[in-house]
Amino acid sequence: MPRDFAARKDANHSVIVEMLQWNGYVVVETFRAGFGAPDFFCLSKSRRWVAFEVKSEKGGKLSKLEADLFDRCIGAPLFVVRTPEGALEIMAHYDKPDESYLTDMKI
């Protein structure tokens, strides 16, 4: 099996997920899937799924498989997140009931 299959969690993964859940978001963790799949999906309050890849605050980088997914999903709601605050900021944009979340996001 390639090394990228290993189901690993970054140290900040749990605190990010817990903060999202504490703020009323539904989180589905997929970090065990491996093969470059996002670490989790979060359902916005306007019912849009957003995918997250958690990386450490100190320079965590995407694996080759993760980078390939990001390259193939340009424009999709797929983000690297390093802090709970960053995740909440992203979700706030997707909570909007209209399509303005597509044009006013500056992350």
| Residues 27-85 pLDDT 10s | 999 999 988 999 999 999 999 999 999 999 888 899 999 999 999 999 999 999 999 99
**Would you state the torsion angle of the CA atoms of residues 94, 99, 102, 106, taken in this order, to the nearest 10 degrees?**
-60
| Residues 30-43 pLDDT 10s | 999 988 999 999 99
Q: What is the mean pLDDT of residues 17-27?
A: 98
Fold (CATH) for 3-102:
Trna Endonuclease; Chain: A, domain 1 (3.40.1350)
> Is pLDDT at 14 greater than 90 in this prediction?
yes
Rounded to 10 deg, the angle between the 84-94 and 13-22 helix axes is 40
Q: Which residue ranges make up each domain of the chain?
A: 3-102
